[in-house]
Amino acid sequence: MDSNLKTIIEKRIEKTIKNLEKNNMQAYYVESKADVADKVRELMSEGQTVAVGGSMTLFECGIIDLLRSGSYRFLDRYQDGLSREDIEKIYRESFFADTYISSTNAITENGELYNVDGNSNRVAAICYGPKSVIIVAGYNKIVKDIDEAIDRVKRTAAPANTVRLGCQTYCREKGECMSLAQGETGMAAGCGSPQRICCSYVVSGYQRVKGRIKVIIVGEELGY
């Protein structure tokens, strides 16, 4: 990365980390995705029960491989041969995990996390249940405020995820949320597809339990 651009991005990351900490979340910066697994390992103990939210970032950073190493009791939603019923069982067991690891759809410079789910298992576990939550996010997830976070999900995160998941939605075809084309405003405006992936909209702001949520910001673009 160009060093001037890197300086600007790091200033933005610094501001975001300061505000996440004001909101009682522990926040860390690591320079590259190669550094993420070591940081995640530091934040857990061997033998812990660990679950994950659906995320490309976790694959990109080697976290799924780390969890499959045998050092943890991994509730592996990605293992081969699982039925829908098995996966639902893992989602429910995840609420009792020691650690839940996920990415996020956006992080505001004000220190908030913004997440939108179809199933809602991920946002539910971020809000309550697991004793510790680790969020891993590339710097590309940083936005100015909640309005920009909403826009990011409608223009980038949701359309890309519908392609990844093969959902029959307007955004998969057109590349952006239906609400934008129709000029509808509001966080929850969208399509009427049975496969819609935007159903629960969660902003994580000031946390009562200090340090339960830990955020690792990576100085590289990850996920979408």
196 binds ligand SF4 (CB under 6 A): yes
**Distance between terminal CA atoms of the chain?**
19
Find the binder of ligand SF4 among 55, 57, 132, 169 (CB under 6 A). Answer: 169
Provide, rounded to whole angstroms, the least separation between the CB of residue 68 and ligand SF4.
Answer: 30
Stretch that binds ligand SF4, among 23-31, 32-40, 138-146, 186-194 (CB under 6 A): 186-194
- Least separation, in Å, of the C-beta of 177 and ligand SF4? 3
Beta bridge partners of 29: 217
Among 44, 61, 106, 178, binds ligand SF4 (CB under 6 A): 178
Binding status of residue 132 toward ligand SF4 by CB under 6 A: no
Strands (E), 13-149: 26-30, 49-52, 73-75, 99-102, 106-108, 113-117, 132-138, 142-143
Q: Work out the number of other CB atoms within 10 angstroms of the CB of residue 176.
A: 15
Closest CA to 124 of 56, 53, 74, 67: 53
Identify which of residues 81 and 166 has a Cβ nearer to ligand SF4 in the complex: 166
Among 162, 213, 215, 220, binds ligand SF4 (CB under 6 A): 162
Q: What SS3 state is found at 88?
A: helix
Binding mask 141-160 for ligand SF4 (x = CB under 6 A): -------------x---x--
> Is 115 among the residues that bind ligand SF4 (CB under 6 A)?
no
Q: How many CB atoms lie within 10 A of CB 211?
A: 12
Q: How far is CA 134 from CA 1, 3, 101, 137, 156, in A?
A: 26, 29, 5, 10, 23
Residue with smaller CB distance to ligand SF4, 113 or 177: 177
Q: Which stretch binds ligand SF4 (CB under 6 A): 60-68, 122-130, 192-200, 207-215?
A: 192-200
- Of 220, 192, 186, which Cα lies nearest the Cα of 5? 220
Q: Which of 142, 203, 202, 148 is nearest to 16 (CA)?
A: 142
Shortest approach of ligand SF4 to residue 201 CB, angstroms? 10
Site for ligand SF4 in 197-216 (CB under 6 A): 197-198
Q: Applying CB under 6 A, which residues contact ligand SF4?
A: 154, 158, 162, 169-171, 177-179, 190-191, 193, 196-198
